[in-house]
């Protein structure tokens, strides 16, 4: 089993249908597999299930929270992975088969699935596995950057690919009177330092708020796991490059009068991709969690050479970010933007120095200190 700062290679994914469930996750498909494996290992290595449930009076409940919940179909598979592993750990921690039977008979699982109030909980609830699952499901609306659950009520909380979404567009970057005005860009990568700083400040606040809320909600000894898109320290990362292509397509369209320059200048993605180093530093500021594991997952460069890569990437970005663009530019402009984006990615990929660029993700496992 790998640990520490080792970099894992994963395969790119993506599917053909034009919907969020299938396409949100060019980075996820096998990232999720890796994450599920890390979660499994985390529970087996770091979670004292026996102690956690012994501290409750009978009957006992093990409570799991999914924070952010971007993809229904993966939610319940991830949930099952956690539950199966907790049960397995409980078996390993039991001295006798009889003791295990007794413990597991009295143990029930509660699964709290969070998402923003705007998400489609009706669809989520319809996607609960048909064969009555062996746990109690509830949906919890609201932002995970604030409190969502009672104090000390969670034993295991995880978040898949949601923490790089900021709680809001950073202050000033969309305001032409602000020194941090991000003119002509939609992300901060090639922007002046003051813009990048505004993004980092917002990300810092959000991670602090996330940990502050979880520090109260997770029981001592409980685990928090999350995966997040990150960038290498030298920033030679493909994802921000693609954000820049999206921005340049919009500028081209503004030059042709298809949309307005002002709309492009004031639009900024509420996304920040930190380096693993920044992330680690921010987590360490919270003294109530210990970092039990931190992994970097690296997408192999090969996947970017696949002939349908521009198509897949466009579908992915569309599924994940379309509504943001629609709100600012309207659906007609956005349709055209994604067409042009696909073409530009196709042209650009040939000239890209792919040998130095890679897409990264980070997996983090934290334990609530006693």
Nearest CA among 48, 41, 81 for reference residue 295: 41
48 conformational bin, left if phi > 0, alpha if psi -120 to 50, beta if neither: beta
According to DSSP, residue 170 is labeled: P
Min dist CB 107 to a copy of itself, Å, is 9
- Rounded to whole angstroms, the Cα distance separating 210 from 189 reads 24
Closest CA to 354 of 300, 316, 312, 275: 300
**Of residues 280-319, those binding a copy of itself (CB under 8 A):** none
Site track 28-57 with a copy of itself (rule: CB under 8 A), x = hit: ---------------------------x-x
Residue nearer to a copy of itself on the CB measure, 37 or 140: 140
The torsion of the CA quartet 105, 69, 287, 369, rounded to 10 degrees, works out to 10
- Mark residues 139-168: x for contact with a copy of itself by CB under 8 A, - for none: xxxx----xxxxxxx---------------
CB closer to a copy of itself, 44 vs 140 = 140
Residue 19 or 152 having the CB closest to a copy of itself = 152
Residue 123 Cβ, how far from a copy of itself at the closest point, in Å? 9
What track of x and - describes contact with a copy of itself for positions 182 through 201 (by CB under 8 A)? --------------------
Identify which of residues 107 and 166 has a Cβ nearer to a copy of itself in the complex: 107
Among the listed residues 59, 131, 350, 351, the single contact to a copy of itself using CB under 8 A:
59
Residue 108 or 208: which CB sits closer to a copy of itself?
Answer: 108
Smaller CB distance to a copy of itself: residue 53 or 359? 53
Minimum gap (Å) between residue 134 Cβ and a copy of itself: 11
* Nearest distance, CB of residue 218 and a copy of itself, angstroms: 12
Please name the residues in contact with 203: beta carbons below 8 A apart, sequence gap of 6 or more: 166, 272, 274, 278, 282
Min dist CB 288 to a copy of itself, Å, is 15
d(CA 299, CA 359): 5
| Shortest distance (Å) from residue 15 CB to a copy of itself | 26
Start-to-end Cα distance in the chain:
26
Size of the site for a copy of itself (CB under 8 A): 28
CB nearer a copy of itself, residue 151 or residue 284: 151
Contact between 341 and 249 under an 8 Å Cβ cutoff? The reply is: yes
Q: CB-wise, 20 or 272, nearer to a copy of itself? A: 20
CB atoms within 10 A of CB 11: 13
Determine contact, residues 362/279, Cβ cutoff 8 Å: yes
Closer to a copy of itself by CB, 189 or 213: give it.
213
Considering only residues 114 to 143 of the shown chain, the ones binding a copy of itself according to CB under 8 A are: 117, 120-122, 125-126, 128, 136-142
CA 120, CA 128: separation in Å to the nearest integer?
A: 13
If DSSP codes are grouped into helix, strand and coil, which group holds residue 68? coil
Q: How far is the CB of 124 from a copy of itself (least distance, A)?
A: 9
- Closest approach of a copy of itself to the CB of residue 95, in Å: 24
Please calculate the CA angle 229-231-236 and round it to the nearest 5 degrees.
140
Task: Say which residues have a Cβ less than 8 Å from residue 45's Cβ, sequence separation at least 6.
Answer: 292
* Footprint on residues 98-117 left by a copy of itself (CB under 8 A): 108, 110, 112, 117
135 vs 317, beta carbon nearer a copy of itself: 135
CB of 135 vs a copy of itself, minimal distance in Å: 9
Residue 179 DSSP symbol: T
Q: Which residues of 220-248 are buried (b: 16+ CB within 10 A; e: fewer)?
A: ebbbbbbbbbbbbeeebbbbbbbbbbbbb
The gap from C-alpha 92 to its chain's centroid, in whole angstroms, comes to 31
In Å, how far are 63, 87, 359 from 100, measured between CA atoms?
A: 19, 9, 43
Minimum distance of a copy of itself from residue 154's CB (angstroms): 12
Residues near a copy of itself (CB under 8 A): 55, 57, 59, 61, 108, 110, 112, 117, 120-122, 125-126, 128, 136-142, 147-153
């Amino acid at each position: 089993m790998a640990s520490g700062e080792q970099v894992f290679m994963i395969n790119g994914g993506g599917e053909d249908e034009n919907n969020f469930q299938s396409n949100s996750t060019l980075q996820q498909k096998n990232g999720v597999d890796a994450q599920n494996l890390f979660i499994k290992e985390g529970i087996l290595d770091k979670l004292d299930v026996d102690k956690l449930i012994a501290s409750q009076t009978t009957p006992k409940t093990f409570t799991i929270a999914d924070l952010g919940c971007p993809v229904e179909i993966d939610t319940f598979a991830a949930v099952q992975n956690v539950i199966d592993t907790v049960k397995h750990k409980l078996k390993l921690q039991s001295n006798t088969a009889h003791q295990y039977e007794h413990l597991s008979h009295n143990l029930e699982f509660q699964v709290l699935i969070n998402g923003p109030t705007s998400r489609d909980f009706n669809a989520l609830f319809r996607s609960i596995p048909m064969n009555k699952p062996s746990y109690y499901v509830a949906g919890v609306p609201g932002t995970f950057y604030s409190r969502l659950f009672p104090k000390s009520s969670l034993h295991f909380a995880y978040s898949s690919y949601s923490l790089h979404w900021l709680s809001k567009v950073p202050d000033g970057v969309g305001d032409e009177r602000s020194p941090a005005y991000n003119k002509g860009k939609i992300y901060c990568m090639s922007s002046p330092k003051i813009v990048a700083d505004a993004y980092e400040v917002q990300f810092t606040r959000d991670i602090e708020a996330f940990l502050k809320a979880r520090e109260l909600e997770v029981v001592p000894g409980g685990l928090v796991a999350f995966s997040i898109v990150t960038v290498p320290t030298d920033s030679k990362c493909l994802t921000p490059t693609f954000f820049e292509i999206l921005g340049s397509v919009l500028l081209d369209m503004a030059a042709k009068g298809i949309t307005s320059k002002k709309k492009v200048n004031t639009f900024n993605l509420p996304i920040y991709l930190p380096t693993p180093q920044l992330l680690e530093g921010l987590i360490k500021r919270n003294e109530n969690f210990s970092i039990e594991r931190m992994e970097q997952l690296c997408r192999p460069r090969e996947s970017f050479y696949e002939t349908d890569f521009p198509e897949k990437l466009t579908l992915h970005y569309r599924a994940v970010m379309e509504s943001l663009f629609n709100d600012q530019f309207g659906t007609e402009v956005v349709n055209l933007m994604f067409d042009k984006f696909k073409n530009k990615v196709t042209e650009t990929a040939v000239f890209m120095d792919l040998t130095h660029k890679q897409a990264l993700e980070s997996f983090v496992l934290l334990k609530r200190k006693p």
